[in-house]
């Protein structure tokens, strides 16, 4: 396993990490979480991602219980969680980044994780109804309190990230250090030219999600939706149209020979492609069983095998674009 600095921060994260979205509680319980996290850790993974909104808080509970059983030394791993969606249907407790919610939110996450602090705390989405300055001050307070060590953003526009950094610099506050954007062969917009000032100018890190486009970039949806896939899960019907999109299927057909030429599966190829971007600190993978963890980790064998010819072939395969899934 190789490790990259989280932007300009002092901590290093494994190039591949393990997230709990969709899987923890929805597909797996504590025992499976222990097995998958243990397998990832043995492969060198040191970063595990979660969020308050995943399975309505149950994902955090499962990860916390798994960590207790695993008994790892706290300094040996990094845990993140994210706040925005909320768990209660009240005006100040959902779809917001107001100060009250953020303080209550981190306290709730720490209770569910059964931890004293998280390493990374993200604002899970932007909140146009709360001044960015209020959010920055609240996140600074959380870091100052020791309940989170670093904070960041997820799916924020470049201009909003830069505004948050400017506010923090002006008031000598803890500033955001990392973005968590969607990033895969289909969806590259969060690394568009407007983000150059964020990643290159500010030295922002990134922990990217959905590297396999919810499984499309494994090739398993070419003939429909398998019964054991996330596309078949109750509550994820909204994914189905994107999973079965004909344009996406056609691109998959064009990408498969490139992956095969490299000796990789399409999934391993797609994960390794994400790490060609020097602004990516870690690629968050997902798994519902241990075998998937090991298969995903094999992607690291192909990171250094991309040639200019491969990259040109990828651009040709993607020509014309594809509709976003997220």
pLDDT 10s digit of each residue in the chain, 326 long? 999 999 999 999 999 999 999 899 999 999 999 999 999 999 999 999 999 999 999 999 999 999 999 999 999 999 999 999 999 999 999 999 999 999 999 999 999 999 999 999 999 999 999 999 999 999 999 999 999 999 999 999 999 999 999 999 999 999 999 999 999 999 999 999 999 999 999 999 999 999 999 889 998 766 666 666 666 666 666 565 566 677 888 899 999 999 999 999 999 999 999 999 999 999 999 999 999 999 999 999 999 999 999 999 999 999 976 666 55
8 Å CB contact between 90 and 98: no
8 Å CB contact between 47 and 16: no
How many degrees, rounded to 5, is the angle at CA 12 between CA 58 and CA 112? 15
The boundaries of the domain holding residue 105 are: 3-220+279-289
- Identify the sign of the CA torsion 288, 292, 296, 297: positive
CA-atom Rg of the chain in angstroms = 19
Tokens representing residue 132 in the block: 């960015």
Examine residue 235 and state whether it is found in any structural domain, yes or no.
Answer: no
Beta-bridged to residue 178, according to DSSP, are: 152, 205
At residue 35, the pLDDT reads: 98
Name residues whose C-beta falls within 8 Å of residue 315's C-beta, 6 or more positions apart in sequence.
none
**DSSP type of residue 182:** B
Domain tally for the chain?
A: 1
φ, ψ dihedrals at 24, nearest 5°: -65, 125
At residue 143, the pLDDT reads: 98
Examine residue 307 and state whether it is found in any structural domain, yes or no.
Answer: no
Examine residue 230 and state whether it is found in any structural domain, yes or no.
Answer: no
8 Å CB contact between 103 and 141: yes
At residue 245, the pLDDT reads: 73
CATH number at residue 39: 3.20.20.100
At residue 234, the pLDDT reads: 67
| Residue 301: Cβ within 10 Å count | 13
At residue 219, the pLDDT reads: 86
φ, ψ dihedrals at 284, nearest 5°: -80, 120
At residue 238, the pLDDT reads: 57
At residue 239, the pLDDT reads: 63
Tokens representing residue 200 in the block: 């290159």
Examine residue 317 and state whether it is found in any structural domain, yes or no.
Answer: no
Tokens representing residue 48 in the block: 């595990």
Tokens representing residue 105 in the block: 């939110």
Examine residue 29 and state whether it is found in any structural domain, yes or no.
Answer: yes
At residue 79, the 3 state secondary structure works out as strand
From the list 54, 77, 101, 204, the catalytic residue is 54
Annotation marks residue 54 as catalytic: yes
Place of tokens 């994902």: 59
Angle between helices 132-144 and 158-171 (to 10 degrees): 60
Q: Which helix (H) or strand (E) holds 106?
A: helix 99-113
At residue 317, the pLDDT reads: 96
Examine residue 34 and state whether it is found in any structural domain, yes or no.
Answer: yes
Examine residue 305 and state whether it is found in any structural domain, yes or no.
Answer: no
At residue 248, the pLDDT reads: 84
At residue 241, the pLDDT reads: 57
Burial class (CB in 10 A: 0-12, 13-18, 19+), 215: buried
Examine residue 103 and state whether it is found in any structural domain, yes or no.
Answer: yes
């Amino acid at each position: 396993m190789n490790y990259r600095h989280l932007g300009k921060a002092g901590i290093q994260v494994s190039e591949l990490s393990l997230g709990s979205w969709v899987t923890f509680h929805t597909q797996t319980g504590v025992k499976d979480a222990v097995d998958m996290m243990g397998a990832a850790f043995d492969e060198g993974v040191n970063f595990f991602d979660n969020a308050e909104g995943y399975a309505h808080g149950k994902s955090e509970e499962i990860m916390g219980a798994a960590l207790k059983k695993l008994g790892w030394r706290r300094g040996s791993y990094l845990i993140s969680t994210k706040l925005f969606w909320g768990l209660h249907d009240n005006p100040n407790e959902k779809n917001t980044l107001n100060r009250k919610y953020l303080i209550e939110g981190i306290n709730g996450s720490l209770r569910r994780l059964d931890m004293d602090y998280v390493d990374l705390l993200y604002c899970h989405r932007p909140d146009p109804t709360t001044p960015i300055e209020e959010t920055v001050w609240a996140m600074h307070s959380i870091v100052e309190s020791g309940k989170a060590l670093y904070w960041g953003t997820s799916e924020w526009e470049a201009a909003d990230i830069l505004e948050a950094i400017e506010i923090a610099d002006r008031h000598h506050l803890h500033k955001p250090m990392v973005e968590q954007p969607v990033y895969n062969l289909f969806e590259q917009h969060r690394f568009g030219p407007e983000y150059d000032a964020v990643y290159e100018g500010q030295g922002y890190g990134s922990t990217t999600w959905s590297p396999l486009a919810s499984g499309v970039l494994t090739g398993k949806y070419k003939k429909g939706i398998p019964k054991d896939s996330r596309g078949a899960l109750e509550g994820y019907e909204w994914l189905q149209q994107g999973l079965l999109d004909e344009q996406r299927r056609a691109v998959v057909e064009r990408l498969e020979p490139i992956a095969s030429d490299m000796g990789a599966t399409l999934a391993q190829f797609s994960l390794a492609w994400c790490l060609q971007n020097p602004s990516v600190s870690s690629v968050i993978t997902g798994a519902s069983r241990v075998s998937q963890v090991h298969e995903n980790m094999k992607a690291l064998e192909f990171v250094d095998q991309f040639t200019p010819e491969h990259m040109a072939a990828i651009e040709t395969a993607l020509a014309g674009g594809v509709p976003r899934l997220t």
